[in-house]
Chain A
């Protein structure tokens, strides 16, 4: 069982390579979030168990690509936090990636439902 679990985690990591960017854009498309807040939010989802070492450099890259804007904010006694929000380009990118993602889910779904699989046909 632990081996299976391990395999799943690897698969999740592989899959996330392309989708994490979409996940970040989606997470903050309604309101700005700071890193830890975003991380805790992702951790609510089974397949989104990412680490700090993955998230922060990604945020930095997206900011460099002008998809995100960042600003330091301090509330009361709390230490200052860097909040990320979507720029106009970020919103556009989110829509593009979202459309592409939905298309890819649809395609995969069709492949999975394809009768050739059910009937056990193999293509050489």
Chain B
């Protein structure tokens, strides 16, 4: 393994184990250590020697143990169960995307349901849930001309769609909100507890 690759590997591992830290903090730790390693190598090379990268990395200790000293204050004494570390590492990469995805998806569906409920009050008859081909196709929505779909079977139609849609929308919004709150607490807890 080339020296550069060895250093890269070490820093990548370190970065992975630092995942409970905020990204910016972890990056700073890694940047500082990287700067140190290359400074030491430069110092040796300036004097005409050959730097022993392995020895330098040894002095930092295994990435996991080094990282542990940086994240110990977050984990507060009680070590998390075995699988937990893996979760927090996975979480790091996923959390932001999952969080935003969940937020968009959940709120969108919730709001759409509520909008459907209200729209149904204004345009009863053209909104409904239809099913066709014995339930193989289900259509929820608003149709300009419901006459066209008369052959299909209207499952939920008419005014009573409104309360169903409103309650459903409300529940979806509530659930999304709760889940997001939990995710937020979980990740903040990791940083500041």
Mark A residues whose CB is within 8 Å of B.
35-36, 51-53, 56-57, 60-61, 64, 79-82
Choose, from B31-39, B96-104, B119-127, B142-150, the stretch at the interface.
B31-39
Shortest distance from the beta carbon of B135 to any chain A beta carbon, whole Å: 60
Closest to B65 in A: A53
Question: Hey, which bits of chain B sit against chain A, CB under 8 A?
Answer: 28-29, 31-33, 35-36, 38-40, 56, 59-61, 65-66, 69-70, 73
Contact of B61 among A36, A53, A61 (CB under 8 A): A53
- Asked if residues B38 and A52 are in contact (CB atoms below 8 Å), the reply is no
Q: Complex formed: what's the CA distance from A61 to B72 in Å?
A: 10
- B61 x A51 contact (CB < 8 A): yes
User: In angstroms, how far is the closest chain A Cβ from the Cβ of B77?
Assistant: 15
Cα–Cα distance between A61 and B71 once the two chains are bound (Å): 10
A/B interface sample: 23 pairs, CB < 8 A: A35-B36, A36-B40, A52-B33, A52-B56, A52-B59, A52-B60, A53-B60, A53-B61, A53-B65, A53-B66, A56-B33, A56-B60, A57-B66, A60-B29, A60-B69, A61-B73, A64-B73, A79-B38, A79-B39, A80-B31, A81-B39, A82-B28, A82-B35
Contacts of B33 in A (CB 8 A): 52, 56
